[in-house]
Structure 1
Amino acid sequence: MGHSTSALFLAQPGQRLAYRFCLQWIGGNILGFLISLYWLEVGERAALQGLEGAIGGTVIGLAQWLVLQRWCPQAGWWILSSTLCWTVLGASKLGALGWVVPQTHSDLLRLFYGLVDGMKMGAILGVSQWLVLRQCFADAKAWIFVSVLAWAIALGSGWVIGGWLHTITGLFLGEVIGLALVWLLMALMTGVGLAQLLRDAAIK
């Protein structure tokens, strides 16, 4: 990692900087998701294909890059990584899950498929993003585990809560709020993971 990045990190107390970074990362992800809804309509898996995945992945990748670029000079590849991954996901049986609502209304099935599909998606995104992060951080391998864990917990929780809100209100908006929660939880957990990478790099 470059001296300038380390200097930026060491110029501020670690905890305060980590807090600021996490807030920016969470805000960037939520904003990216909301902006993507201008072009994408939340729906069932079959309604979101490769093109929708490419659009969503580009918007999300750009939003994440805006936060990450300060700390990783090679982060421009993150946008390409995000676009390609979400395109492949959208074109596959797995689907562009960041914008997908499950057909089942069973809480147990939503939780189960959310955990399983989230792990698969987290692994795909995690490996691709690790290829970018390793250019900036020597200990970036842990990112794959962070991505798998974050997406599994976030997707399972968000799908269940979205189903509850849909049932209680009778409005499909409840499902959209559930997906927003998915992005919030994912961003919180991956933000903590990234902040740890940044702190470790600064110490070294």
Structure 2
Amino acid sequence: MATVRHNAPASSGQSLTGIQLPLSKRLWFLVLWIFANIIGFLIGNALGATNDGLVSHLMSGRILPHIIGDWIFGASFGVAQWLVLRRFFPNSRSSLRWWIPACMIGFMVGARLGARFAPMVGDDTFLVGIAFGALMGISLSTIQCIALWLSGTLKSARPLLWIPVSIVAWIIGESIAFHFGFVLFGVPIEALAIALVSGIALLWWIKSA
């Protein structure tokens, strides 16, 4: 597979918008991004899902198993996303190391906030899914942006649009998950929806560099 070329000198503070890719590589990025998210979500669900994940069966308790499961779930798709991002943003590899812990912390915060507050909207699973997705999107994207900002990766305001994009992506994804009742075949559909929305946004930033 060909290595993406970049004309600028390598720098740990390289902005994620600072890379030019031809159409074929942008489309390849989207394909890999979707595939990575689906695999990451399937692994995360198998290991760290709140009710049916491996952690929930191996550990007892009301809080710690959920937190550890959330960390594992976030790490699973965080690693998958990181592998794609570091390939297409080679000059940001050093700062992208913060992506994985940001996903772990963000997913844990979003999942716990969602479990606590989303049911307050009522018994309608559609509305609960929207509320849960909004809390998840806000938590994940905010912590991701903070991590990348502190590392110097985000040099312009445009990547801050990642927050509303993530909110929309996770609202769609969690609405699907709640609709299917979190059954296994719903996981790749949820991941596909989240990856498609977030991937298109990333493509726009790459294209607009």
| TMscore range, shorter length | 0.7 to 0.9
The percentage of aligned residue pairs carrying the same residue is 27
TM superposition score normalised by structure 2? 0.72
In the alignment, the residues of structure 2 paired with residue 26 and residue 199 of structure 1 have an alpha-carbon distance, to the nearest angstrom, of 18
In structure 1, list runs of 5 or more residues that go unmatched.
Answer: 97-101, 103-107, 164-173
Superposition pairs of residues 83-98 of structure 1, within 5 angstroms = 83-90=104-111, 92-95=112-115
**For the aligned residues, what is the CA RMSD?**
3.2
In the alignment, the residues of structure 1 paired with residue 7 and residue 140 of structure 2 have an alpha-carbon distance, to the nearest angstrom, of 25
Moved over 4 A (4+): none
Instruction: Report if aligned partners of 1:119, 1:148 keep a CA contact under 8 Å in 2.
Output: yes
Q: Secondary structure at the match of 2:153?
A: coil
Superposition pairs of residues 6-45 of structure 1, within 5 angstroms = 9-10=19-20, 12-13=21-22, 15-41=23-49, 43=51
1:3 matches 2:3 = no
Q: Which residue of 2 aligns with 1:199?
A: 207
Instruction: Report if aligned partners of 1:133, 1:140 keep a CA contact under 8 Å in 2.
Output: no
Q: Secondary structure at the match of 1:43?
A: coil
Residue 75 (structure 1) shift: 0.9
TM superposition score normalised by structure 1? 0.73
Q: Secondary structure at the match of 1:49?
A: helix
In the alignment, the residues of structure 2 paired with residue 93 and residue 136 of structure 1 have an alpha-carbon distance, to the nearest angstrom, of 28
| Matched length | 177
1:151 matches 2:170 = yes
Q: Secondary structure at the match of 1:154?
A: helix
Q: Deviations over 1:11-43 (max 9, x none)?
A: x52x32221111111111111122224423563
Residue 132 (structure 1) shift: 3.8
In the alignment, the residues of structure 2 paired with residue 37 and residue 133 of structure 1 have an alpha-carbon distance, to the nearest angstrom, of 26
Does the C-alpha gap of structure 1 residues 42 and 184 become closer, same or farther in structure 2, counting only changes over 3 Å? farther
In the alignment, the residues of structure 2 paired with residue 49 and residue 198 of structure 1 have an alpha-carbon distance, to the nearest angstrom, of 36
Residue 141 (structure 1) shift: 0.9
Q: Deviations over 1:65-114 (max 9, x none)?
A: 11111313211100110111223344x35249xxxxx9xxxxx8221111
Q: Secondary structure at the match of 1:151?
A: helix
In the alignment, the residues of structure 2 paired with residue 144 and residue 41 of structure 1 have an alpha-carbon distance, to the nearest angstrom, of 24
Residue 159 (structure 1) shift: 2.2
Q: Deviations over 1:106-147 (max 9, x none)?
A: xx8221111111011101111111224443342211100100
Q: Secondary structure at the match of 2:145?
A: helix
Superposition pairs of residues 1-204 of structure 1, within 5 angstroms = 3=8, 9-10=19-20, 12-13=21-22, 15-41=23-49, 43=51, 49-70=66-87, 71=89, 72-73=92-93, 74-90=95-111, 92-95=112-115, 109-134=124-149, 135-137=152-154, 138=156, 139-160=158-179, 162-163=180-181, 175-201=183-209
